[in-house]
Structure 1
Amino acid sequence: MWCEVHLLTWTVVGLSAVVCVKVTVKQSDLRMCEDDKRLCVTDDKDCHRSSTQKNFNMSCFYLECVRSVTCEWSEVSHDSTGAGTSLIFSQPRGDKFSSCQNIFIPAAVLNISARFWSMVSRPQTVPLYAAVKPPRPVLSVDGTTSNSITVTWRRSYEDGGGAGGCRLRYRAEDDPTWSEFPVSVSVRPHQTSVHVIRRLRPFTAYSAAVACRAESGIWSDWSLDVTVTTKETEPSKPPDVCYRVLRNRTDGCVLLHLMWEGLDVHDVGGRLLGYEVTLQTRVRRVHNATELTLPLVAADGNCSVTVRAFNGAGPGPAASISVDANAHDVCPSVRHLWASVPPSGKGLQVQWDAPKAPPSDPPPVSHFIVQWRSETRPSIVHQTRVGGATTETLIPDIERDDSYLISVFPVYDHQCGDPRSLPASLQHGVLMEVVGLKLVGVTKTTVTVMWAWQRKTLPIRVKTYRLMLRRDSDEQMVSVHLDQWQNTFLDLKPSTEYSLILLADNISRNIITVRTDFDKVPMVATVTLLLIFALCVFIVSISRTVYKWYFFPPISSPRGSTTGQWLMDPKQQDQQKPPQKNILDMDDFKVMDVVGDKSLIVVGPVLKCPSEEESLPSFSRLIVKLGPESDAPPPVSTQQRPGPGWSFHLDHQTVFDEVEGQETRCLTSHHHQTQMCRLFELLNPDQRHDVLYATQQTHRLMDGDVDPSYLTCEKDYISNSCFYAQEV
């Protein structure tokens, strides 16, 4: 038995499926049932007819050349455990068969039932002469051009004779869909039909087939496919060219880097042999290139470049551009290039961000060129073009066990920016990883980190790398790309501890603890305010002291010294001979030897008085200096005494006197010596009395009424007193 079952359509509907079935039975496969001579079957199980029958939408045709019957139908199957598919043959009037080996003849009329799993169709009466299927026609190619194919075929008398139609179909070798002519071609038996298939692509392989219909309306099977390739033609389009101008810093040479897009296979017009590049400067130079890039050395100034592709049929149209070698417009590269494997696992999804516009403001990006080449076969370069508004593309046809170098070029009209590249594979994605994460700068509100990229050492796939700076619920996260080596986290809290985490697909790879700097502003502000306050206090204190110094100068009081207290003691005036109280040895001052030779003692203010805070020395602590006489009356002997009207001069122009027991006055004969009198007038009455008393005691000393040894001079008075005394 020979049975062919074709499942042409399979559509799931709930738990059932719609199945299209085709069954072919040859006459040699039939055998008669032993219990029922009216049936010819291919399987003994079909000899027992089922009481349940169903109508199948079935059509059958007869092939006389091979003595076979083929039936087709579609049915919904609910049972996947049936016994199979077969055909059951019987006679319309229920007559018995004498043999099942000669029932497939054109004059036979048969009832045909089909069994599909556990279901059996109702019998369908088929006269074989009306169900004859024409044989396959023979198709051949008569000629080709670059865009057309001429085919021929013939019909035979075995298809039933008479005029019948034929249909022709064709498709390109890389296209799974057939293209069929909408109108059938009428062809008589043994008549050769010629047809031209037009509007084809050059240098492309096509397949064609033909089928014819008999007078019964049954179509023959499609002829065997014939395959033919159209002829080559010149390339139909010029390549799209862009350039970069690079200047060598050492010798100043201008390097013109040309790059162009490969033509689409439909535009090549045949087998691409290469590209012809012509550089026109002062001289004309022609270069042939087989790749999509070509570096040329150019001279300063303007030049023109033409590029065109050529194949076996000749060169195609040329693309021409003008280049100013002196121009150095900077065209930025794409940013954040990355590649990942899509969920389907087919190809590599390449993504990037548009270039950041520089200050020179170049023209907008017209499109991107994405190139990829195998790292094991770098000479084979593939590329695709992506529109300027798109920042991703899918690279198909990636071999699983190979790695690729992917590059993306931005194109600005005819200028192309620098490429951005990365290695990637279908198994491991991007073949780069982050290493060497470290801190490079910490302030009170910012943290700066750096890292490096290196080829992967472990066979793992990472879709994306990210950096996260976290403190409790407060966190900052940024994605890391191949064109980044550092990042600064902003708006942080001073003197706060954070955790810096490197994430690879949400898996922690590295953790660093970092603390921001202390905020010195409040402390500095506090210290500054304290210093300003201290400075103000100091200035006020100095100002107060200076003010009192100039406007209220301190005056020494005799009450503050031992000598002054002794001189002002009334008891000492009544004693003829005071007791011996030697505080200082007056012999050291040689007072006793010269008293008798002196007539006047000058007492005047010292140049610098003590401050107010210091205690004022008493006027009794006068320094008495006895020396040669200056500007005084003629010398007198020791026996001589001054008369009753003698006045004692503290200064040789200043005289202190008491008039009739009234107020003590200061008299001077020179207007420039008034300071002494002014100081005297500042004293209170007690102090004036002390001054007058000291004058009288000194006068008595001059008269010899007082023992000079009782006049005590203390050393402190020399440095603290506001007055001095000297002989005149």
Structure 2
Amino acid sequence: MSSRGSLCVLICVFCFCCALKRKDVQELTVTGEDLKDCGKQEKVCVTSSDDCLAASDVLAATPESFVNMSCHFLEDAESFTCRWIQLSDVRTESDFIFRRADEVYCPSILNYFSHFNLIIKSKSVVSQKEQFSEVYPVIIKEIVQAPRPVITSVNVTDSSVNVTWNGGKIQVTKCRIRYKHLNTESWTETADFPASDESLFVIEGLQAFSEYRLSVSCFHGNSRWSDWSDETRVKTSESPPSASLSLSYHLASDGNSGVRQLLLLWKALDVTDARGLVRGYEVSYMPTKQPSLKKTFNTTELKAVVRVTAEEYEVTVWANNSAGRSPHRRLRVDASRSQDVRSVKGLWVYSDGSSLRIRWERDFSAVNVSEFAIEWSAETNPIRKHWQRVDGSTFTTRLTGIEPDEIYTISVYPVYDSLCGPPTSISADLQHGALLDLVRFRLVNLTQSSLAVQWTWKEAKPRVNVLQYRLVLEGAHGNESLSVSPDKQQHSFDQLHANAKYSIYIQGETTTGNFSKASLDVNTPLIDYDEMMRFAVPVILLLLVFGIFSVSSRTVFREYFFPIVANPRYSLIGRWLLNPHLKGNGKICVLKLESSFQFDQQEKNFIQVERRVSLISEHQEVIPSKISTTGEGTTLWKPNSDALAPSSLPEYVDLPLLADDSDYVQTGHISSVAQTSD
């Protein structure tokens, strides 16, 4: 838009504003003592002597400047009052001009039987410009108004107010009362009721321990209703609370001892339900199977922590005020069952003027949260706790009443009807916001397609009030950003590009701008170690399996398709076939038994003598025959690797070759031997 166009717009706006006339409600009250005569003008009375000069003139009326005028006369005070709306763009002063057709005595013109014409004159305070209303005919007896009542006393109960008032010197015939709750804008009016000598009325159906404003108006004969009396503030008395508490609980394990901590959390009653000032709460709990172990205690807090064992408990809570206690709220808690109830995540706080603003993450999807309970207290006065409840769809709220030099501990509890989660806490003050600082920002893992960073939160007073911290990743292929909070200490970025440069930094946001808290520059590798190992290990295993298969398959294939053929040179039969000119050796070596055993009694042993004919060649030695026992006796000699030569035995004898029969040996001598020869 050009400068000329802007100037035209400003001029139009200025002209429009100047054309608007200000609407002011004007009211002027006069008595007979305020009226003055105008000398020779005996039919005129004025409130200012300066108006007498214009009284005989023809006045130019501007009725559009005087709107919604009404007048009334108070008989007991002999006062005349008019109200109207003045349409003017400047401040004005107003006067009355009274005219009658006959002569008038000005101090007595205001009486019950009087009548006259009224003109209102307004004069600009700045320009002294005068404006006159049109002529209003006035008949006093038609505008008489009952006197304004004065409330003299009120008596209250928990649901009613007894009002007494004074109606003035004139006897009124009927009255009415209006009242409203202190926190509402609309009034409630009673029906008209006849006035009594006591001027007394009782307002029923009020809320206990509630503050009201009320006023009275009365009527006399054919007069007008009086103005409302001055407002009187009253407060009904207390009554026992009408509603039970909203109670929820959380179970936390206390190590391996079997003892658990039961957190009880309840909501303060609304004013309409509390019906008074709640002075404390009564809590009782007992094992359902052991009622004799019932315990009861009182507290002024909105939470309590008790130690229980792994069994079922019955918990009851009441609210108390000076008039009594509320209906009980009872829960059955199975302390043997664990609870998987999440706490809020992403809790952060910063200063916002004279208050603290807290917020937490929105993605709270474990269960439906009915509301959040916020608890905060100053470190110098931890006993005095403040509570606030917000709806389950709300994820931010403002904490008011914060002292400038105090450090506050703030906790947020998620509430799910009768269950609640563990608290998430943070410390803050009005100057710095959250008393946490982010340090030790570092890279913990880097691959071809991902990286991971880590940081640490430290309790400290930061230099500035940080609205939030954000983790930012910048690269040639795009940017990523996310909010970080004290419950988050590391993050991984995936789907990155290989052999690419990235910048990672923590950014703090303030009301005046952003600043970089810590930063890192990294390059992703072209091929990372894990990828190499994923490729190399299968290849090595494949080669190893292929080698084993090749070696084993060669042996197997050779055995099935290329079997080993026996060499005749190493076979006795083969040798005999190749060299048939062999000679049999008819000698056998026999162990002489007398040299090895001494027999005290007659024993019989069966000896089988096996004739073994050796087929020897010129280069072969004769293998001795084998002798063994076949009865109950002991083996006399067995050939082995160390006793192939006959010389290893004590003594041998040469016997003729026996036939294929056997005989018994007695006392170490062979009874008969059949000799055969080649």
- Name the TM-score class by shorter chain: 0.5 to 0.7
Q: Is the 8 A contact 2:407 2:429 kept in 1?
A: yes
Matched with 1:73 is 84
Question: CA 1:234–1:494 in structure 2 vs 1: closer, same or farther (change >3 Å)?
Answer: same
Q: 2:188 aligns with which of 175, 180, 185?
A: 180
Q: 1:88 aligns with which of 66, 73, 96?
A: 96
Matched with 1:168 is 177
- Alignment-mate amino acid for residue 136 of structure 1: R
Matched with 1:645 is none
Question: CA 1:397–1:25 in structure 2 vs 1: closer, same or farther (change >3 Å)?
Answer: farther
Query: 2:27 matched to 1:22?
Result: yes
What per-residue deviation string (whole Å, max 9, x for no partner) do you get for residues 536-579 of structure 1? xxx9xxxxxxxxxxxxxxxxxxxxxxxxxxxxxxxxxxxxxxxx
For residues 590-609 of structure 1, what are the structure 2 equivalents within 5 Å? none
Distance 2:416 2:233 in 1: 44
Matched with 2:72 is 61
Question: CA 1:113–1:454 in structure 2 vs 1: closer, same or farther (change >3 Å)?
Answer: farther
What per-residue deviation string (whole Å, max 9, x for no partner) do you get for residues 52-89 of structure 1? 42153211112344443221112433x22x4x131312
Matched with 1:589 is none
Distance 2:245 2:443 in 1: 49
Matched with 2:328 is 318
For residues 111-510 of structure 1, what are the structure 2 equivalents within 5 Å? 111-116=117-122, 117=124, 118-141=130-153, 143-153=155-165, 155-158=167-170, 163=173, 165-172=174-181, 174-181=182-189, 183-187=191-195, 191-249=197-255, 251-281=257-287, 282=290, 283-339=293-349, 348=357, 350-355=359-364, 357=366, 364-374=368-378, 377-388=381-392, 390-392=393-395, 394-395=397-398, 397-399=400-402, 401=404, 404-424=408-428, 430-454=434-458, 457=461, 460-472=464-476, 474-505=478-509, 507-510=514-517
Of 507-516 and 14-23, more deviation after overlay is shown by 14-23
Question: CA 1:435–1:36 in structure 2 vs 1: closer, same or farther (change >3 Å)?
Answer: farther
What per-residue deviation string (whole Å, max 9, x for no partner) do you get for residues 261-305 of structure 1? 111122112221211111112311111111111111223311111
Matched with 2:556 is none
Of 474-483 and 42-51, more deviation after overlay is shown by 42-51
Q: Is the 8 A contact 1:348 1:396 kept in 2?
A: yes
Q: TM-score scaled to structure 2, two decimals?
A: 0.65
What per-residue deviation string (whole Å, max 9, x for no partner) do you get for residues 484-518 of structure 1? 22222222222322222332335122352411332
Shift of 1:34: 7.7
Q: TM-score scaled to structure 1, two decimals?
A: 0.61
Q: Is the 8 A contact 1:444 1:516 kept in 2?
A: no
Q: Is the 8 A contact 1:354 1:391 kept in 2?
A: no
Distance 2:234 2:390 in 1: 34
Q: Is the 8 A contact 2:154 2:234 kept in 1?
A: no
Shift of 1:40: 0.9
Shift of 1:427: 6.7
Matched with 1:592 is none
What per-residue deviation string (whole Å, max 9, x for no partner) do you get for residues 604-636 of structure 1? xxxxxxxxxxxxxxxxxxxxxxxxxxxxxxxxx
Structure with max Cα Rg: 1
Distance 1:46 1:485 in 2: 89
Q: Is the 8 A contact 1:277 1:306 kept in 2?
A: yes
Distance 1:226 1:51 in 2: 46
Distance 1:376 1:249 in 2: 31
Q: Is the 8 A contact 2:411 2:426 kept in 1?
A: yes
Q: Supply the RMSD in Å over aligned alpha carbons.
A: 3.7
Gapped regions of structure 2 (runs ≥ 5): 1-16, 125-129, 548-678
Q: Is the 8 A contact 1:373 1:404 kept in 2?
A: yes
Distance 1:485 1:14 in 2: 64
- Alignment-mate amino acid for residue 88 of structure 1: F
What per-residue deviation string (whole Å, max 9, x for no partner) do you get for residues 359-383 of structure 1? xxxx643433233445555433333
- Alignment-mate amino acid for residue 137 of structure 1: P
Residue 113 of structure 2 aligns to a residue in which SS? coil
Shift of 1:472: 4.9
Q: Is the 8 A contact 1:41 1:47 kept in 2?
A: no
Distance 1:216 1:330 in 2: 76
Question: CA 1:245–1:204 in structure 2 vs 1: closer, same or farther (change >3 Å)?
Answer: same
Shift of 1:251: 4.2
Distance 1:456 1:26 in 2: 73
Distance 1:269 1:409 in 2: 27
Q: Is the 8 A contact 1:443 1:516 kept in 2?
A: no
Q: Is the 8 A contact 2:172 2:218 kept in 1?
A: no
Residue 347 of structure 2 aligns to a residue in which SS? strand
- Alignment-mate amino acid for residue 486 of structure 1: Q
Shift of 1:143: 4.3
- Alignment-mate amino acid for residue 61 of structure 1: H
Question: CA 1:287–1:89 in structure 2 vs 1: closer, same or farther (change >3 Å)?
Answer: same
Gapped regions of structure 1 (runs ≥ 5): 1-11, 358-362, 540-728
